[in-house]
């Protein structure tokens, strides 16, 4: 994982482009600029691990370009539960819940990520309180969508088990 600057990124990370992603929708240009300048931009290569099961959950990542695969772990079992794409976030639940990562995250393709630490999240609240509220709503909406997809998968799996 290589840290890059907003100025040297090969991808379009302008506020107008990022507003097309679910996490950044309806945020002000200034607040998006603040996050991309104060956060850590990571260029990752296909197959690279971004974080691992059990690691400290003191930040979350937003995909600015590319795709990631998340593998949930429980005991010795691992299962890919979702693919995270442009404008989506991963790791927010661990950060807010103050617990370790519950799985591992890998780049499905070459990607650019914005890492937002818990300190930056707090600073964002202080400097952009209105946008912070919008960001929380966007993150909550994404979590709700993920819960719905995963709960539907549980029902489908239960049906398969009952048929066999």
Is the pLDDT reported for residue 138 higher than 90?
A: yes
Determine the average pLDDT of the residues in 20-26: 96
pLDDT value, residue 156: 87
In this structure, are residues 81 and 51 in contact, taking their beta carbons and an 8 Å threshold?
A: no
48-95 pLDDT, tens digit each:
999 999 999 999 999 999 999 999 999 999 999 999 999 999 999 999
pTM of the model: 0.92
What pLDDT sits at residue 6?
83
87: Cα separation from own chain's centroid: 8
* 85: CATH: 2.60.120.10
Number of domains in the chain: 1
HEC letters along 104-154:
EEEECCCEEEEEEEHHHHHHHHHHCHHHHHHHHHHHHHHHHHHHHHHHHHH
Phi/psi of residue 48, each to 5°?
A: -75, 140
Residues 90-125: tens digit of each pLDDT: 999 999 999 999 999 999 999 999 999 999 999 999
Give residue 1's pLDDT band: very low, low, confident or very high (50, 70, 90). Answer: confident
Place of tokens 């912070």: 132
**Is the pLDDT at 139 greater than 90, yes or no?**
yes
Q: Does residue 10 surpass a pLDDT of 90?
A: no
For the cut 90, the answer to whether the pLDDT of residue 164 exceeds it is: no
CA angle 3, 67, 120 (to 5 degrees): 45
CA-to-CA dists, residue 49 to 73, 105, 107, 136, 150, angstroms: 15, 6, 7, 26, 23
| Domain containing residue 40 | 2-163
Q: Which two tokens stand for residue 65?
A: 């370009």
């Amino acid at each position: 994982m290589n840290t890059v600057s907003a100025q040297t990124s090969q991808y379009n990370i302008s506020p107008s482009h990022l507003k097309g992603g679910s996490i950044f929708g309806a945020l002000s240009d200034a607040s998006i600029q603040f996050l991309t300048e104060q956060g850590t931009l990571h260029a990752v290569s296909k197959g690279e691990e971004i974080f691992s099961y059990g690691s400290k959950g003191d930040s979350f990542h937003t995909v600015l370009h590319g795709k990631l695969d998340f593998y949930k772990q429980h005991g010795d079992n691992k299962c890919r539960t979702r693919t995270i794409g442009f404008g989506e976030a991963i790791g927010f639940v661990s950060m807010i819940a103050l617990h370790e990562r519950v799985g591992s995250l890998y780049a499905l393709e070459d990607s650019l990520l914005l890492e937002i630490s818990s300190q930056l999240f707090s600073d964002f609240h202080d400097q952009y309180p209105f946008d912070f509220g919008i960001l929380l709503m966007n993150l909550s909406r994404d979590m709700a969508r993920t819960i719905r997809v995963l709960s539907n998968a549980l029902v489908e799996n239960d049906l398969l088990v009952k048929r066999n």
